[in-house]
Amino acid sequence: MNQLALSEQPETKPETEQGKPLFSLKDVSRSWGGNDALKGITLDIRAGEVILLAGPSGSGKSTLLRILTGALKPTSGRFEVGGVDLSSMSPSELRKYKRTCGIVEQGNLLVPQLDVHRNVLAGRLAHWPWHRILLSALWPIERERVATLLADLGLSDRQWETTANLSGGQQQRVAVARAMISAPMIIIADEPTASLDSQNAIQVTQMMVNAAKRTGATLILCTHWISLALPYMERLIGLRDGAIAIDCHARDYDGKHEGKGGEFVDEDSLISLFEGSLERQ
């Protein structure tokens, strides 16, 4: 912990390659019942970036991720994908965009009674006609594609095992494979390692990063823990009270905004931690 206070302005954004960003948020705000969850977010994200999105609880992380997946519309501002405002898309175009998003969540939403293969294939259901969905329930299909993904995630010998028999870390890897099966343009991982021990959390983080780099997908990993995930990331974006508090290259992060346990904290929390440490001395 290097400083007690956050800077008033976000830190310098990382330099970007020439050309238009893949995702662009322009003065995006989102309100819930008069409360501002996001306040004037302006952000460019390029194809293939590996980003850590950090912030304390209630900072707006999940709201931002829902906007990025097209599940939520901004109250004001613009969210563009490839220069196209999502609000101008037709329902069919919006559905097509949503299918390019792979989502990994803390609650992995796997079906414990099904084997690993069928759980991974569930990530393809939105892309298939009804007869193919029915076939997948009756007979395992796309075996090679699933097997390749599972091999990359260290689960080669678990493809036909009932998912309920796997450990928490293994189940989360299955969730990653399910998100990757459709070759997504962007992978959104919302607190995917919150229920894991540090060793499994690091392994799952590394595997998500490797999968994204291999396919060229953009990865946005959301967590309130900085120290665990940052070594594998390229860029850090930190939110505080619905606004961007920090946006920098991961290698340039100097440890401020960070509590004793490595979590992203706001100014009041930093002061509280500091005062608490004095009281214990």
Reported as a single tens digit per residue, the pLDDT across 197-243 is 888 888 889 988 988 998 899 999 998 777 888 899 999 999 989 99
Domain interval for residue 175: 110-183
* pLDDT value of residue 223: 81
In a domain, 171, yes or no: yes
Whether the Cβ atoms of residue 77 and residue 25 lie closer than 8 Å to each other:
yes
Q: How many CB atoms lie within 10 A of CB 142?
A: 16
Integer-rounded Cα Rg, in Å, for the chain is: 20
In this structure, is the dihedral angle defined by the CA atoms of residues 266, 272, 275 and 281, taken in order, positive or negative?
Answer: negative
The verdict on residue 52 lying in a domain is no
> What is the C-alpha separation between 280 and 272, in angstroms, rounded?
12
Order the strands of the 186-190 sheet from edge to edge.
Answer: 101-105, 186-190, 218-223, 50-54, 235-240, 243-249
Q: What is the mean pLDDT of the chain?
A: 80
| Better-predicted residue by pLDDT, 33 or 141 | 33
222 occurs within a structural domain: no
Q: What is the pTM for the complete model shown?
A: 0.78
Domains identified in the chain, total number: 1
The better pLDDT of the pair 13, 54 is held by: 54
Whether 148 is covered by a domain: the verdict is yes
Would you say residue 275 lies in a domain?
no
In a domain, 177, yes or no: yes
